[in-house]
Amino acid sequence: PATPDAATLAPALDLLKRIWGYDAFRGVQAQIVSTVAGGGNAMVLMPTGGGKSLCYQVPSLLRPGVGIIVSPLIALMKDQVDTLRGLGVRAAYLNSTLSLDGVREVEAALLSGELDLLYAAPERLLLPRTLDLLERAPVALFAVDEAHCVSQWGHDFRPEYQGLSVLPERFPDVPRMALTATADDRTRADILRVLDLGAAPQFISSFDRPNIGYRVGQKDSPKTQLLDFIRAEHAGDAGIVYCLSRKSVEETAKWLQAQGVDAVAYHAGLPPRERTHAQDRFLNEEGLVVVATVAFGMGIDKPNVRFVAHLDLPKSMEGYYQETGRAGRDGLPSTAWMVYGLSDVVNVRRMLASSDAPEDVKRVEAGKLDALLTYCETAACRREVLLAYFGEGYQGPCGNCDTCLNPPRVRDMTREAQMALSAAIRTGNRFGAAHLTDVLLGRATEKVVSMNHHTLPTFGVGAAHDEKTWRGVLRQLVSLGFLAAGEHHGLSATGKARTLLKGEATLTLREDTLMPRARRAEKHP
C-alpha cells in the first residue's frame, strides 16, 4: 500500500501527539495505522522494540467500537492496561486472574460501549460466552499479538492460538491484524492460514538493530568471563543474563551478588511473589542485572537494558534474536554477548531429541539450532549472518560486531569444501552429513559398504581432518547455499556449488572453531 497522505493521517497523528506525546510515526507504523483504521487487515512483522503496540492501539481509538487485543502474556496485561489508563485510554483486560465480579464488570463496560481497548487471553476470548458477547458489541478490530504462537514451527507454540481461526469465520467484517517479532516462512504461512490473512498486505520491517553490538566467544570459565565483561563494559548498567537451567540461574545470581554486582534471579520455579518482585525491581530500578531462564522477558518493555548476556546457547536463531532484542530499545549503544561451548551444543541437541514433538518438527528445530551454530562459528560479519537468516540481504561489514572489529584467524578450506561437494554429488545428492562424513573420512560403515561408497574416488580423501571439521565444513556449505538440505537431511549440491568446484569461490573457516587433529592419532603414534 502507498504511503498515506497527510490529510488521511491527520487524525492519527493528532491522537499520537495528544495521548502519547509523540510527534511522528516510526517507519511503517503510519501505513499500518491507515490500512487498519480504513477497515483493512494486516500482517505485521516487526522486531521487538519496533513499536507494534501503537499499530493496533491507534486504529482502535480511531475506529468506532472496542479494539480486542489477543495476547498470551497474562502477567503483563495489568501493567499494559494501567499504563493506558494513565494516558486516559479506556482499557481493560479479560483473563483468568479476574474474579467473577471483575469479569462481569468488564463485560458490562464492553456492552455499553465504554471501552476503547480490551486485552484478552485467547482461552478467555474463545469461550462461547465471550464470543456471543462480542457479536453484540461494536468491535473496532482484532489484533493478535505474538501471532507466532499459532505455529508449532515457532519457538512458542500455544495450541489455544489455533482456535483463533473462528475470528475470520464469525467476524468477517472486523479488521484483523497479526503481529509478531519472529516468523520464518513456515510460521508466517501458519499465521496467514489460521487468521485467513492470505490477501492482506504484509508489513515487514527490517530486523536490523544497528545499536546492538554482537559478540560471541568460546566458553571456558563462563562466570568469570561474564564478570569481566560486565566490569569492563557495563558496570552499573541494567542487563539480562540468560542461563539454560534454574540451578545455574540461582548459582550465577548468587555469585554475581558476591562479586558486588546488583543481581537478582528469575525463573518459573520461583514463587509468583518473588517473580513479580524481581520484575518490578528490574523495571523500576537503575542498573539491576536479572539472571534468568527464557521465562523472563517476553513483553517486558524496559528501554534502557544495556546488555543481554547468554551463558548458554539458546535453542534457535529466533530465540537468540528475540532475547538479544531486549537490549537497547531506546536506540542507545548496547551489547549482545554470548559464550558457548561444545557441551552446550550437546545439551541443546539432547533437549531437542528428547522432546515429544513430532519428527518433522524436531527436524525443523535441529535446523534452527544449526543456523545458530553457523552464526556462532562464522568468520563473516555477524549482523550479515543474522539478517540473512531472517531473509534480509544485508551487506557487512557492520563495524559493530566482534568479527568486524577483531577479524578472527581463518583457514582457507576451499579444497575441503570441494571434497565435501564432490562426496555429495558422487553419492547421488541424497545423503546426510553423517554419511558424507563417513565417506570423506574413509569409514567403511555398513551403510557405506552396502551403497558401494567405499569404492568411490572420494572415499577417504578427507582422512587428514577429524569429524568435527567435516561437520563444520558441511554446515557452512549448507548455510552459504552451496548445499541444500532436502528430505531426511539429504544434502544436495546447488547451482551455486559449481563456482566452488571450479575455484571461482572460496570457503574460509575460523581457526578457533576447528579442533586439532584427531587426538587418538597423537596418543598412538
Judged by the rule CB under 5 A, the positions of this chain that interact with Zn ion are 381, 383, 396, 398, 401, 404
CA 116 to chain centre: 31
In 3D, which of 184, 180, 119 has the Cα closest to residue 145? 180
Nearer to Zn ion, 155 or 383 (CB): 383
Shortest distance, CB of residue 327 to ligand ADP, whole angstroms?
Answer: 12
Build a one-symbol-per-residue string for 308-337: x at contacts with ligand ADP by CB under 6 A, - elsewhere: ---------------------x--------
Shortest distance, CB of residue 448 to ligand ADP, whole angstroms?
Answer: 50
The grid coordinates of residue 453 equal: 561408497
Residue 22 contact partner, candidates Zn ion, ligand ADP, none, CB within 5 to 8 A by sort of partner: ligand ADP
Q: Are 148 and 93 in contact (CB under 8 A)?
A: no
Question: 379-384 long-range contacts, Cβ below 8 Å, gap at least 24?
Answer: 379/403, 379/407, 379/408, 379/410, 379/508, 379/509, 379/510, 382/214, 382/216, 383/208, 383/214
Count of residues that bind ligand ADP according to CB under 6 A: 15
The 3-state DSSP class for residue 437 equals helix
Residue 401 contact partner, candidates ligand ADP, Zn ion, none, CB within 5 to 8 A by sort of partner: Zn ion
- The CA-based angle 224-228-229, given to 5 degrees, is 115
Q: Single out the segment in contact with ligand ADP by CB under 6 A; choices: 49-57, 358-366, 399-407, 499-507.
A: 49-57
Shortest distance, CB of residue 410 to ligand ADP, whole angstroms?
Answer: 36
Residue 333 contact partner, candidates ligand ADP, Zn ion, none, CB within 5 to 8 A by sort of partner: none
Shortest distance, CB of residue 290 to ligand ADP, whole angstroms?
Answer: 18
Residue 26 contact partner, candidates Zn ion, ligand ADP, none, CB within 5 to 8 A by sort of partner: ligand ADP
Nearer to ligand ADP, 28 or 140 (CB): 28
Cα distance from N-terminal residue to C-terminal residue, the chain? 69
In 3D, which of 218, 87, 74, 70 has the Cα closest to residue 146? 70
Shortest distance, CB of residue 216 to ligand ADP, whole angstroms?
Answer: 24
Q: What is the largest CA-CA distance in the chain?
A: 86
Build a one-symbol-per-residue string for 464-503: x at contacts with ligand ADP by CB under 6 A, - elsewhere: ----------------------------------------
* Distant-in-sequence, close-in-space partners of 65: CB < 8 Å, separation ≥ 6: 113, 137, 138, 139, 140
143 binds ligand ADP (CB under 6 A): no
248 binds ligand ADP (CB under 6 A): no
The 3-state DSSP class for residue 508 equals strand
Q: Following DSSP, what letter does each residue of 356-399 receive, concatenated?
A: -S-HHHHHHHHHHHHHHHHHHH-SS-HHHHHHHHTT----S--S
Residue 163 contact partner, candidates ligand ADP, Zn ion, none, CB within 5 to 8 A by sort of partner: none
Nearer to Zn ion, 230 or 398 (CB): 398
Which listed residue (51, 102, 168, 442) binds ligand ADP by CB under 6 A?
51
If you compute the radius of gyration of the chain from its CA atoms, what whole number of angstroms results?
Answer: 26
* Distant-in-sequence, close-in-space partners of 407: CB < 8 Å, separation ≥ 6: 379
The 3-state DSSP class for residue 122 equals helix
Q: Are 226 and 241 in contact (CB under 8 A)?
A: yes
Nearer to ligand ADP, 145 or 416 (CB): 145
* Exposure class string for 3-27: b at 16+ Cβ within 10 A, else e: ebeeeebeebbebbeebeeeeebee
Build a one-symbol-per-residue string for 52-91: x at contacts with ligand ADP by CB under 6 A, - elsewhere: xxx-------------------------------------
Build a one-symbol-per-residue string for 12-41: x at contacts with ligand ADP by CB under 6 A, - elsewhere: ----------x--xx--x------------
Residue 139 φ/ψ, nearest 5 degrees: -110, 125
Residue nearest ligand ADP (C-beta atom): 51
Residue 398 contact partner, candidates ligand ADP, Zn ion, none, CB within 5 to 8 A by sort of partner: Zn ion
d(CA 406, CA 399): 10
Nearer to ligand ADP, 18 or 26 (CB): 26
Residue 69 contact partner, candidates Zn ion, ligand ADP, none, CB within 5 to 8 A by sort of partner: none
Shortest distance, CB of residue 298 to ligand ADP, whole angstroms?
Answer: 10
Instruction: Write out the residues near ligand ADP by the rule CB under 6 A.
Output: 22, 25-26, 29, 46, 48-54, 301, 303, 329
